[in-house]
Homo-oligomer: A and B are copies of this chain.
Amino acid sequence: LASATLAPTRLQTPAVVIDRRAVARNVERLQSHCGRHGLALWPHVKSHKMVEIAAMQLAAGAAGLTCQTLGEAEVMLEARPPRVLLPSPIVGAGKPQRVAALAGRTAVTVACDSSACARELSAALTAAGAEVEVLVEYEVGLGRTGVRGPDDAARLAREVDALPGMRFAGLLAHPTPPAVEPRLAEACAAVRAAGLAVSRVSGGGTVHAVSAQRCASLTELRAGVYVLGDRATVAAGITPSEDVALTVRTTVVSRPTPTRAILDAGSKTLTSDPPNHPGLDGYGTVLEYPRAVLGQLSEEHGHLQLARAADRPAIGEVVTVLPNHACGVMNLHDTVAVHEGGGLQPQPVQARGRTA
């Protein structure tokens, strides 16, 4: 990582720095991969939350945007997506009405895993004279949302297809490593046996994005963090280190002992998210001091253990942290510093905090 080139001396820390050229490379690489394999790419905006990056993804050929929350989708209309996918059940006071309003502004697909969810949505859509496509979410091992078993998938698909305001379009699953293909195929067969067409099967996850074509059932892919990269995607071999697009610049504010440095980036800058990859510990990698261990975070401080580091930073030195989880970091910051070769430009993270 060419971190030294990101070191404008006037940047106040802690600060999230986004490398726009690396973003562009990441956008292009996965879009090309999907294009080669006939998969429609629906980038997940939850990772970056920035209208500008969403627009780059659409310009590169994305079929639509995946938005984890309605609030994200409403903000992302500014990027003029032709289609928006809400990949989780939308339930709760006011929410079905917002789906209907969204469907008046762009083509909307919603995932659904229960009759209760489908009926509430259908009622709101009907009242608004709106229509959405529906993917039945199918559980393939994460143990989160999704119907379990092909019979339940077929049953809900038929129910959805009969409801006004809804067109059943297919299935959605997460995550979708190649190993889940037999289960996806079984679910698709059950739905088809029930007399319905399965025109879309949506798979998800950056880690398995480059092997998505090995799930023969998939017609489309959702991926988010590929666009930025983080400690987990680098460790998994998904993001080449030169294509990491998000880093955190932080200042050494204290050196209380020879083996301890304190950074001005803590859990309110980096999140408390643990590293999502086997063999990693701590809260990030300090690029200039890779043998230093960012082993503990206070709210505004990172505790850096230097016992194994030959070189050690001085008070006032600015260092670069590759954080565990880019999506969580983006959601903490109203503004990031975007650079493209030369200087840094502050840019808003428009959908930050849009959890509702």
Query: Hey, which bits of chain A sit against chain B, CB under 8 A?
Result: 9-15, 46, 68-69, 88-95, 113-114, 116-117, 120, 139, 143-148, 251-257, 260, 262, 264-265, 267-269, 271-274, 298-301, 303, 314-316, 318, 327-328, 331-334, 353, 355-356
Contact A145 B94 (CB under 8 A): no
Contact of A332 (CB < 8 Å), options: B260, B301, B353: B353
CB neighbours of A331 from chain B (8 A): 268, 299, 332
Give bound CA distance, A265 to B91, whole Å: 12
Q: List 8 A-B contacts (CB under 8 A).
A: A12-B94, A14-B356, A88-B301, A91-B264, A143-B303, A145-B301, A148-B257, A264-B355
Contact A253 B332 (CB under 8 A): no
Contact of A91 (CB < 8 Å), options: B116, B315, B334: B315
Give bound CA distance, A315 to B156, whole Å: 15
Give bound CA distance, A186 to B68, whole Å: 55
Contact of A300 (CB < 8 Å), options: B94, B139, B315, B355: B355
CB neighbours of A68 from chain B (8 A): 299-300
Contact A92 B264 (CB under 8 A): yes
CB neighbours of A139 from chain B (8 A): 256
Give bound CA distance, A90 to B262, whole Å: 12
Give bound CA distance, A252 to B113, whole Å: 13
CB neighbours of A12 from chain B (8 A): 92-95, 356
Contact A315 B253 (CB under 8 A): no
Contact A272 B271 (CB under 8 A): yes
Contact A147 to B269, CB < 8 A, known contacts A315-B117, A333-B353: no
A343 shortest CB reach to chain B, Å? 15
Contact B327 A117 (CB under 8 A): no
Contact B267 A89 (CB under 8 A): no
Contact of A93 (CB < 8 Å), options: B13, B332, B333: B13
Contact B316 A299 (CB under 8 A): no
Contact A328 B116 (CB under 8 A): no
Contact A13 to B356, CB < 8 A, known contacts A256-B148, A272-B271: yes
CB neighbours of A301 from chain B (8 A): 88, 144-145
Give bound CA distance, A300 to B95, whole Å: 15
Give bound CA distance, A89 to B262, whole Å: 10
Contact B46 A355 (CB under 8 A): no
Give bound CA distance, A68 to B256, whole Å: 19
Contact B272 A328 (CB under 8 A): yes
Contact of A254 (CB < 8 Å), options: B114, B251, B262, B298: B114
CB neighbours of A355 from chain B (8 A): 14, 264-265, 268-269, 300, 332-333
